[in-house]
Structure 1
Amino acid sequence: MTDRLPASMAGAVDLSGLAARHARPAAAQQPAPGDGDAPQGGVGVIVDVTDADFAQIVELSRTVPVVVDIWAEWCGPCRQLTPVLERLVTGYAGRLVLAKVDADRNPQLVQAFQAQSIPTVAAVIGGRPAALFTGAIPEAQVADVLEQVLAFAAQEGVTGRLPVGEPGEQAAEPTEPPLPPLHQEAHDALDRGDLAGAIDAFERAIVANPRDGEAIAGLANVRLLDRLQGASADEIRRAAADAPSDVDAQMRVADLDVSGGHVEDAFARLLELVASTTGDERQQVRLRLLDFFEIVGADDPRVAAARRRLTTLLY
């Protein structure tokens, strides 16, 4: 997490090339908003953006500071952080915008923000980017970072507000169908930081319905979070380097790689272990790989390739 936001912004990343590639023709551009005014057109405070339309976000950042959340569906820490960002940004009633970027579908933005792992959170203020932090951090720290963003934006004269009214006055969104009871119990446990409770709820859901894909994926994600709880990335990698034949140590590095978005590295490490182990150890590695497949998603081509390799090694 950055402690001095202006310093981060001074030499961060250059979005000008990306913005120029996807900028709208001049004739189609909206007039620049006046000082303190929000652009028209119904922009919400939480938006999903892509490589193709990020130029509009860069322009919006000249009026209101934009927080960028680079995430992925399979990323466990993202599932913790994104709801926190959404809740806090919504509470600023239009003084901040949250731009959500799916890392798997927007490689140009991932590269532009130099996102080495996910979640990665950055800001764009006045068209200029700033690295903020990576990983899921406590809500109080997220709130502190957002206050720093607003303070620096004020120094830069970026003090606009989107016309969304005060908190609680926004138009009601369509109500999503309620979660199944055990899924809700698991999500409530996660909100409390009770990983053991979430694991228990998902396990009971799977016992009740062994084909409950969402519970299976949810359980795999929470187990990953639980294994990495309180772990130091440096210590995990050092232990694996010191003991290359220690299966548990190697699997912990794979956990770390998956949590950081380095899916291919995690798959390659575990597939090598499958090839070099037998018996119970091989079964342990195989089950960890299956968990990773659930986390990343069955339709991901990296999963399909790893499944084929796993089948070749086993049979």
Structure 2
Amino acid sequence: MSDIMGQNSLGNGSGTVSPAEVIFDTTTQTFATDVLDASMQVPVIVDFWAPWCGPCKQLTPILEKVVLAARGAIRLVKMNIDDYPEVAQQLRVQSIPAVFAFKNGKPVDGFMGALPESQVRDFITRLVGDVGPTPAEEMIGLGLASLQAGDLARAAQAFGAAIQHEPGNPSAVAGLARCYTESGDFERARQTLGLVRPDGKNHADIKAAEAALSLAEKSAELGDTSELLARIEQNPKDHQARFDLALALNAMGDREGAVDQLLISFEYDRKWNDEAARKQLVEFFDAYGPKDEITLSGRRRLSSIMFS
């Protein structure tokens, strides 16, 4: 496949471990060795589960992901209480999923129920401290820095490596899609956005990448801005000319100028073309990101006009 990712490899990151090294099943007979003895070296968390337990099926993949991200600082041991109920009974497990953390041969923490990934990460952090960014997060950081520097090839390689570590990662998928968008390969950008995992479709980075792609596709259809400027000079209320000029200015990197043109149009006639100026401003803000200075000032100015 010929694309901006090129042929160079960024590698797989450092400090990775295989699942077999830190995640395995245990039995009543091997529990002392797998958990109590092992916890003398590193913390061990035990996931009590059963095949019929729906929440267990939600929690276990999250536990596995977070434990792997800790790169050997903690182990996950899974115990099927249908096959091996004795330990769960001794620990007075009332419902599953139930998770217990062991250190130095003793239970020190735990929780019941299917927690979201953020809370599972907090639970692991309490046990082992901050283990730093995951390999995927490291690659995403490199990708963002390269993208900002204009090195699309290196950025695409970094985001691609992050996707290899964490398939469907929203930030990685969005970053790679932006690389294709900025290179003009809009079809590949749209295909890349389709790689995001189901729970990441509404992620802020994905929404921003979708908005950036939409803007790029619209801008590609525009020509020279001199004609648009002439039309506006002749008729300041030529809304279509201002709208097209805003898209062109945005494509050239003049975000402030693009926002200005749409705000002027909206102030002249809010309802023009079914509030097209306001809707386009919202798309700009989505593409720029919620913390961007132009987004913040633009939203304030838009609100001032709307409520004046």
TM interval, shorter chain, is: 0.3 to 0.5
TM-score normalised over the length of structure 1: 0.39
Which one has a bigger Cα radius of gyration?
Answer: 2
The one of the two structures with greater contact order (alpha-carbon pairs below 8 A, sep at least 6) is 1
TM-score normalised over the length of structure 2: 0.39
